[in-house]
Every structure is written in structure tokens, then in C-alpha cells.
Amino acid sequence: MSPSGPFQRERWTSPLRGPWLASVLSVGLAVLFGVELVTGYLSHAAYQPQLGANDLTGGGLDQQLFGWAWPTSPAWLYLANQGLHVVAGVALIPIVAAKLWAVMPKFYKWPPVRSPADALERLSLGLLVGSTLFLLFSGVWNIAYWYSAFRGFDFVAAHYYAAWVFLGSLLAHVIIKSPVMVRAFREHGLRPLGQSLADTIPEPADPQTSAPLAPATPALSRRGLLGLVGATSAGFALLLAGQSIGGVTRGISLFAPRRQDPGGGPNGFQVNKTAASAGIKPEETQSAWRLTLRGTRARELSRTELLALPQHTYQLPIACVEGWSTTQTWTGVRLRDLADLAGSGDAGQVLVESLQSDGVLRQATLNRGQLHDERSLLALRVNGVDLSLDHGFPARVIVPALPGVHNTKWVAKMTFEAA
């Protein structure tokens, strides 16, 4: 049987394709995917999955890697981590596209499998491409709020475990392909970067590589192609990064979902989820609202009583897992003062619960350092005025370097526990 269509190697004619181009693109991918793996791990650690019901992934063996206490300093730690994770993820997309293009003839090689080693390589490649595309697109769809794409699965668990599939298949790919990369750089070094269009010649024809058997005349140099890919990658990053950096850059980032503030005034900053979408009824936040404290003794406090306690003011960010952030000036009662009131001044952790009646993020458990940091507040006011309902009135948690959704809004109950 003789192959046809894309299985015919002569049909792939681009003179730029070949092991060298694929290797150069892989260097860029390795750097950015390295950033993704590190920031992804830290992002998961920041949720403190070892505490209470914080874990959203179903608690596999891998959770043993997350026993350590997430710090509260620097306060911008989570902001920087998530901004980097999301922006580097979007910057990866043009490079992944270029890499897929550069190696495309190999996807259609004929015969598809030559040996058991080749079969394992094809399997790892399938897992690598599949998990890469899944990670990139599920991430983008999550920050674009296209939640109906996730009807079949849970985003957090699927994105997290897809990263394990990615890591395993990536390492297998590195074992298989690193000799190809070493050979490409040994033969050509970075010389192709110095070649203009007139000097651009195809890599040696070899049916085992992605180099063309019947190359066309080049219309673009390799450095021209790499320059375009790099500029596109940087452009994709700039079109999003403003929502992490804030200020005037927010508006410049044309495709950032959080590119504009939702309103004006002291409460006019970004809202993660509104009270209405969280099912909060305004009447349950009014005069009947009480904060319940549980420690070695139980206390109930009205908002007036909370306002009569010592108030502290700090400028702190809320930073979302989606990469956007906003820094505001919060005023309220220290969490550790509330622990004292409940007779649990030495508590090792605190479970904070919201008025919100359902959703996995209606509650969060904070660690010892987060509970006892002097900047950790049950905020009652922001920028000199009462919190708006959408920002968590009557009271919300603000803790430095804490993932945004763990800064619980509409707080109803705090349970101080030994660690």
C-alpha cells in the first residue's frame, strides 16, 4: 500500500523545517514550560491542600508534595506567581503552534510505527501534544470565563492532573529527542540565525526527520520566522499582562478579561464573583448578621461590635488564580485578635466559612502564619468606606499573599483549631 495525501513525504515542502528549527523552538518551549511547571506547583501549594477541605483535586498520592506552609511575605508573592503563570501560558501558544508546524510531517510518517521503541515514542508524543493543548486551552478558557466548556469535568482537578500527564510525557520526550537536539546544535550551532533569506538553505533531506525531501524555494529566512514567532509570543503576553500589572497597562491589554474596572469610587475595583452570582441575599447581610467565633469559647459579634474593636489598615492585593490582581487599602480587625476573643490565641489554623450556601470555595482553612500575621484582617472597610455587597459586606478576609478565592467574602463563621 503506498501512502497518499499528507502521508506522502514529498508533499511537505517547506524549506525551513528540520531538526534545527524544531530544536531552537524547543529551547523556547523548555524555558516557558519550566516557568509553567514551577508556578503551577507553587499555585497549587498556595491553596494549602493539606488543610481542612482546601484540596479540590480529590487527594491523590501527589498531595504528599504539598505539606509546607505557604508564606505571607512578600505580600505580592501570589500575585507575581499567578501573573507569571497565566501570561507565560498565553505566550507559549504561538511557540507551540510553530513547533507543531515545524514537526508536522512526522505526525504523518509512513509506516506509522516501525518498532516497539517507535510505538512508545508515538504514545508519549500523543500524550505530550494532547496534554499540552489541553493545559493551554483549558487555562485560557478558564480565564475567559467560558465555563460551559467544562461541563464534562472539573477545571482545577483536570488542569492539575493534566500537568502530571504533561510532565511524564515531556520527560519521556526529552529522553527520546535530546540526541536529535544535541546533533542539530553540534552541526549547525546558532549559524542559521545569522543567515539572510538569500543564504537560507534546507536541512539535509532525511525521511527520518521533518526536513523536506522536495524543498521549495524559501520565502522567509529561519531568523525571520523565529523573529515573527518570538514577536507574536511577546505580543500575546502584552495583550494580557495588564490585568496582572494594573494601572494604565490594564487598558492597553486588549484581550485581558479584566482590562477595565467595573465601576468608579472606593468600591469600583475588580469583583471576582458578585453577591448575586454567589446566591447571597442582601437581607442576610444587614442588621441580623452576626459573626460566629468558635474556639475554646464561642462568641457572636455584630458588625457594630466588630467596628468597636481595634481597627488596622493595610494596603494589600487580591490576586486571582486567573492572573488578574488589584491592590486596595483595607481596614478591619486582625484575625489574631478574633482568635484571642474566642479564647484560642494560640490556634494553629482557622476555618473561615461564608454566608454562601454552596460551592467548594464557600470555605477556606488558613495556616498558622496566615492567622497570626499582623496584616491578616477581617476587613470591614476598603479605601475609607464600608465594603460594598459585591466585595463581601459585612466582612471579608484579607491575608497577604493568599489566593484570591481564599480571601472569603460575606464571612459568617470562623472556627479556630489546633494545627
Partner 1 sequence: MMRRLYGAGPAHLAGVLAFLLLATYGWTRIFQHPKAWTIVAAFVVVVVAHDLIFLPLYTAVWRAAARAGASTPSAVPVLPHLAAPALISVLLFVVWFPLIVGKGMLTSLSTLPLQGYLGRWLILTGALFVVSALSYALRAARARRRPAPGRAGVS
Q: Which of residues 22-61 bind partner 1 (CB under 8 A)?
A: 57-58, 60-61
Q: Which parts of 173-202 interact with partner 1 (CB under 8 A)?
A: 175-176, 197-198
The length of the chain is 419
Q: Which residue of 3, 52, 71, 130 would you call a contact of partner 1, by CB under 8 A? A: 130
Binding range to partner 1, per CB under 8 A, among 204-212, 219-227, 347-355, 359-367: 219-227
What's the CA dihedral at 278, 378, 243, 147 to 10 degrees? -20
- Rounded Cα gap, residues 20 and 222, in angstroms: 10
| Maximum C-alpha span of the chain | 85
121 lies in the binding site for partner 1 (CB under 8 A):
yes
Phi, psi (degrees; rounded to nearest 5) at 336? -70, -30
- Smallest separation, CB 55 to partner 1 (Å): 12
Among 337, 69, 20, smallest CA distance to 187 is for 20
Q: Which residue of 90, 341, 352, 355 would you call a contact of partner 1, by CB under 8 A? A: 90
Q: Contact 382/331 with Cβ under 8 angstroms?
A: yes
- Smallest separation, CB 85 to partner 1 (Å): 16
Please provide the distance, in angstroms rounded to a whole number, between the alpha carbons at the two ends of the chain: 68
Q: Which parts of 60-79 interact with partner 1 (CB under 8 A)?
A: 60-62
Q: Could you identify the residue written with the cell 488542569? A: 159
Asked if the peptide bond before residue 74 counts as cis, ω within 30 degrees of 0, the response is yes
254 lies in the binding site for partner 1 (CB under 8 A):
yes
| Cell digits of residue 205 | 533531506
In the bound state with partner 1, the residue whose beta carbon lies nearer, of 400 and 404, is 404
In the bound state with partner 1, the residue whose beta carbon lies nearer, of 154 and 284, is 154
- Rounded Cα gap, residues 144 and 167, in angstroms: 25
Q: Which parts of 353-382 interact with partner 1 (CB under 8 A)?
A: none
Q: Which residue of 41, 50, 69, 118 would you call a contact of partner 1, by CB under 8 A? A: 118
In the bound state with partner 1, the residue whose beta carbon lies nearer, of 184 and 278, is 278
In the bound state with partner 1, the residue whose beta carbon lies nearer, of 68 and 164, is 164
DSSP 8-class letter at 403? B
Q: Contact 210/17 with Cβ under 8 angstroms?
A: yes
In the bound state with partner 1, the residue whose beta carbon lies nearer, of 239 and 309, is 239
- Smallest separation, CB 333 to partner 1 (Å): 27
3-class DSSP assignment, residue 325: strand
* x-or-dash string of contact with partner 1, 267-286, rule CB under 8 A: ---xxxxx--x---------
Q: Which residues contact 199 (CB under 8 A, 6 or more apart)?
A: 221
In the bound state with partner 1, the residue whose beta carbon lies nearer, of 73 and 208, is 208
- Smallest separation, CB 106 to partner 1 (Å): 15
In the bound state with partner 1, the residue whose beta carbon lies nearer, of 69 and 158, is 158
4 lies in the binding site for partner 1 (CB under 8 A):
no
Which amino acid would we find at residue 326?
T
Among 100, 404, 406, smallest CA distance to 269 is for 404
In the bound state with partner 1, the residue whose beta carbon lies nearer, of 45 and 220, is 220
